[in-house]
């Protein structure tokens, strides 16, 4: 691509948002940052990756004890400066990593309030992927190998957690169509169709 494009994807659980983001990145030949973002943030901060994994898209606070990076100097400095890390601290560290990666070139971010963190970044487009309830439940059942009742419970739990996290750190509401540049139903257009729609849309930014 001639110009830098930053695609930030929010998603309902079970909508296929992660798969769409990965396929889109592959189609465009650019990096996709989902769980790998946690690893990069750990590298940038000098803290253990497990610390960021345990707090991923959650609002709770996590005690630092037991989450050492393996670097005695970095751990000692961190323990001296604070007895615990709040999610606000972890969010700030992750935000810095997101900004750094966006500055390096075109990429796709999955979740983690990236569209709010990068709201003033040129070439950024925010997209929310949603789907019909039954389609999402079916996808969760197959992916997790669980029954319908557990799949629906998990879907509601993770959607609620994502909304709480996003709404706490963002000025706009998670999942609302007016909070994003585009809102697309993966149930209506399918995984590959949604990828094609996004790929076509980013030509205009």
Determine the Cα–Cα distance for residues 172 and 97; give it in Å rounded to an integer. Answer: 21
In the Cβ-directed half-sphere of 122, how many Cα atoms lie within 13 Å?
5
The reported pLDDT for the residue numbered 39 is 77
Q: Which two tokens stand for residue 10?
A: 């929010």
The reported pLDDT for the residue numbered 76 is 40
* Three-class SS state of 119: coil
The reported pLDDT for the residue numbered 49 is 75
The reported pLDDT for the residue numbered 150 is 98
Q: Which residue has the higher pLDDT, 90 or 162?
A: 162
The reported pLDDT for the residue numbered 107 is 97
| Per-residue pLDDT tens over the stretch 173-184 | 999 999 999 999
Determine the Cα–Cα distance for residues 150 and 190; give it in Å rounded to an integer. Answer: 24
The reported pLDDT for the residue numbered 65 is 38
Quote the percentage of the chain above a pLDDT of 90: 67
Determine the Cα–Cα distance for residues 35 and 130; give it in Å rounded to an integer. Answer: 20
2: which residues sit within 8 A by CB, 6+ positions away?
A: none
pLDDT averaged over the chain?
85
Q: Is domain 6-204 in CATH 3.40.50.300, yes or no?
A: yes
Q: Is 160:153 a contact under the CB 8 Å cutoff? A: no
104-116 b/e (C-beta count within 10 Å ≥ 16 → b): eebbbbbbbbbbb
Q: Which residue has the higher pLDDT, 50 or 160?
A: 160
**DSSP 8-state assignment for residue 127:** E
Question: Which residue do the tokens 């999942």 mark?
Answer: 175
pLDDT band at 203 (very low <50, low <70, confident <90, very high): confident
| Per-residue pLDDT tens over the stretch 114-157 | 999 999 999 999 999 999 999 999 999 999 999 999 999 999 99
The reported pLDDT for the residue numbered 82 is 42
**DSSP 8-state assignment for residue 122:** T
Determine the Cα–Cα distance for residues 17 and 127; give it in Å rounded to an integer. Answer: 10
Determine the Cα–Cα distance for residues 80 and 198; give it in Å rounded to an integer. Answer: 47
| Per-residue pLDDT tens over the stretch 30-87 | 999 988 787 787 788 777 777 766 766 666 544 333 444 444 444 444 433 444 567 7
Q: Is 117:100 a contact under the CB 8 Å cutoff? A: no
* Three-class SS state of 9: strand
Would you say residue 1 has pLDDT above 60? Answer: no
Q: Which two tokens stand for residue 30?
A: 């650019």
Quote the percentage of the chain above a pLDDT of 70: 82
| Of the listed ranges 1-5, 17-21, 51-55, 161-165, the one predicted with least confidence | 51-55
The reported pLDDT for the residue numbered 36 is 78
Instruction: Report, as an integer, the average pLDDT of 152-167.
Output: 96
**DSSP 8-state assignment for residue 3:** S
**Domain map (residue ranges) of the chain:** 6-204
């Amino acid at each position: 691509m001639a110009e830098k494009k930053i695609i930030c994807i929010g998603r309902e659980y079970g909508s296929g948002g992660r798969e769409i983001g990965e396929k889109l990145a592959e189609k465009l030949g650019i990096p996709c940052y989902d769980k790998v973002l946690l690893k990069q943030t750990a590298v940038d901060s000098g803290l253990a990756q497990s610390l960021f994994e345990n707090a991923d898209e959650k609002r709770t606070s996590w005690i630092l004890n037991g989450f050492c990076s393996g670097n005695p100097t970095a751990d000692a400095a961190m323990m001296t400066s604070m007895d615990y890390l709040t999610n606000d601290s972890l969010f700030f560290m992750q935000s810095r990593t997101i900004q750094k990666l966006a500055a390096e070139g075109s990429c796709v971010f999955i979740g983690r309030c990236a569209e709010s963190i990068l709201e003033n970044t040129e070439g950024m487009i925010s997209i929310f992927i949603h789907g019909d309830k039954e389609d999402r439940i079916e996808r969760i059942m197959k992916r997790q190998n669980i029954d319908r009742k557990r799949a629906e419970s998990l879907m509601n739990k993770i959607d609620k957690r994502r909304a709480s996290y996003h709404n706490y750190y963002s000025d706009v509401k998670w999942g609302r169509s007016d909070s994003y540049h585009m809102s697309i139903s993966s149930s209506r257009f399918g995984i590959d169709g949604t990828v094609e729609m996004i790929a076509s849309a980013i030509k205009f930014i």
